[in-house]
Amino acid sequence: MKCLITGGAGFIGSHLAERLIYDGHAVTVLDDLSTGKRSNLDAIASATEFQFIEGSVLDADLVEQLVQRAEVVFHLAAAVGVKLIMEEPSKSLRTNITGTENVLNAALPGKTLTLVASTSEVYGKAAKFPFNEDDDLILGATRNHRWSYACAKMLDEFLALAHARDSSLPVIILRFFNTTGPRQTGRYGMVVPRFVQSALDGEPLTVHGTGEQTRCFGHVFDVVEALVRLMSTPEAHGKVFNIGNDQEISIRALADYIISETQSSSNIQIIPYQDVYPDGFEDMMRRVPDISKLEQTIGFRPRRTLKHIVADLMAEKK
C-alpha cells in the first residue's frame, strides 16, 4: 500500500514509517523538520520504497500532489507539546488547523483513507473518568492559551467527521494519550524523556506544579501497532479512538520511579507552574483513557509497561 505520513520525521511518525516499510508498504514522509529530525529516519533512508520530502502541510499544492499518490494518509504533522503551544500559540493554531484542512481537502477527490491525529487535550476539564470517546468535552477560558491546542484539535475532528458524513470520506480520529519512548526528547516539555535524561546526568528532576497530577504513559511501539491495525479495519472509518495506556501514575511517583530504575543520585525539585510557563497556563489533575472501544475494534490494547518505556529510553540515552 502507498502511505503518506505528514510529520513523519517526528517521534511517532518515524516509528510508524519504519513499521510500514518493514511490513512491505511504500512510504512517503512529508516534514518541515521544525520539530522532527531527518536522523529519525536513518534506518529506512536507503529503502527503495521510501521517500522523504522536506516541506510543510501549509503548502496546499504540495500536499495535494502527495495525497493524490497515496492510498492512505497518516496526518501526524502538528505543533505539539505544552511548552511549544504556550510559547507560539498563533503559529501553532495555524499549523494545526490549516494543515489539517489542506490534507482533508486533498483527500476528498480520491476518497483517500485519512487517519487524523488528535489529542487527549480535547477532554479539557472533564471530570468523568476514564475518558470515553463519546463524553462531553469541556475547555477552559480563551485567556488560557493552553486550551488553544485542544480547540484546534477539536476543530480538526469536527472537520474530518463532517467530511465523513457529507462526502463519505473515510477518516479515523486518533486521540493520543501521552505517547513516549525512544526518539522522544524533553525539548517541548515531554516529561518522561526529560526525567530519564536528568536522572542519567545526576541532575535534579524538576516536577512542575504539586506533582500530584496523574497521567498515563503509552509506549510508541504500542501506538504504532494500533495505527497499523486501524489502517486495515474498515469498521473504524468515521470513528474516534482513544490511543494510549490506561495505567495511571502521579508525576511525583514517576520521578521517584525513574530515579530508582536509573539508580540515580538525583533529587526532586518541585517548581510552581508560574515559574515555568507564561500567563495563560492551566493544568488538569488527571488524564485517563477508556480504551475498550479500541480493543473491541482492532483486538488490541496498549500493554507495554512504564518499566519497558524507561528501559528503552535509558538504552537510547546512555
pTM: 0.94
Q: Is the pLDDT of residue 83 over 70?
A: no
Q: What is the pLDDT of residue 25?
A: 98
Residue 297 banded pLDDT, cuts 50, 70, 90 = very high
Residue from 309, 89, 265, 67 nearest 169 by CA: 67
All three cell numbers of 250: 502521579
More confident residue, 45 or 78: 45
Per DSSP bridges, beta strands 171-176 and 113-119 are parallel
The reply to whether 294 falls in a domain is yes
Distance CA(162)–CA(158), nearest Å, equals 6
Q: Is the pLDDT of residue 313 over 80?
A: yes
The reply to whether 198 falls in a domain is no
Q: How many domains does the chain have?
A: 1
- Per-residue model confidence as pLDDT tens digits over 227-285: 999 999 999 999 999 999 999 999 999 999 999 999 999 999 999 987 877 666 778 89
The reply to whether 202 falls in a domain is no
Concatenating the DSSP letter of every residue in 187-246 gives TTS-HHHHHHHHHHHT--EEEETTS--EEE-EEHHHHHHHHHHHHT-GGGTTEEEEES--
Segment 122-132 mean pLDDT: 95
233, with CB counted inside 10 A (0-12, 13-18, 19+), is middle
Q: Where are the alpha helices (DSSP H) in the chain?
A: 11-22, 60-69, 82-87, 89-107, 146-167, 191-201, 220-231, 251-262, 292-298, 306-317
Q: What is the pLDDT of residue 278?
A: 67
Residue from 160, 165, 74 nearest 122 by CA: 160
Residue 299 banded pLDDT, cuts 50, 70, 90 = very high
Question: What's the CA angle centered on 132, arms 131 and 136, to 5 degrees?
Answer: 85
Q: What is the pLDDT of residue 283?
A: 81
CA of residue 8 relative to chain centroid, distance: 12
Q: What is the pLDDT of residue 188?
A: 65
- Active site annotation includes 273: no
Q: What is the pLDDT of residue 186?
A: 76
- Per-residue model confidence as pLDDT tens digits over 140-195: 888 887 788 899 999 999 999 999 999 999 999 999 999 999 999 877 669 999 99
Q: What is the pLDDT of residue 274?
A: 79
Q: Report the 10 Å Cβ neighbour count for 131.
A: 23
Q: Is the pLDDT of residue 81 over 60?
A: no
More confident residue, 93 or 301: 301
Q: What is the pLDDT of residue 273?
A: 81
The reply to whether 267 falls in a domain is no
**59 touches 35 (CB < 8 A):** no
Which residue in 123, 149, 188, 257 is the catalytic one?
A: 149
Q: What is the pLDDT of residue 84?
A: 60
Distance CA(122)–CA(120), nearest Å, equals 5
The reply to whether 118 falls in a domain is yes
Here the CATH number for the domain that contains residue 117 is: 3.40.50.720
Mean pLDDT of the chain: 93
The reply to whether 111 falls in a domain is yes
Cis peptide, bond prior to residue 272, ω within 30 of zero: no
Expressed as residue numbers, the domain containing 151 is 2-179+220-245+289-302
More confident residue, 87 or 287: 287
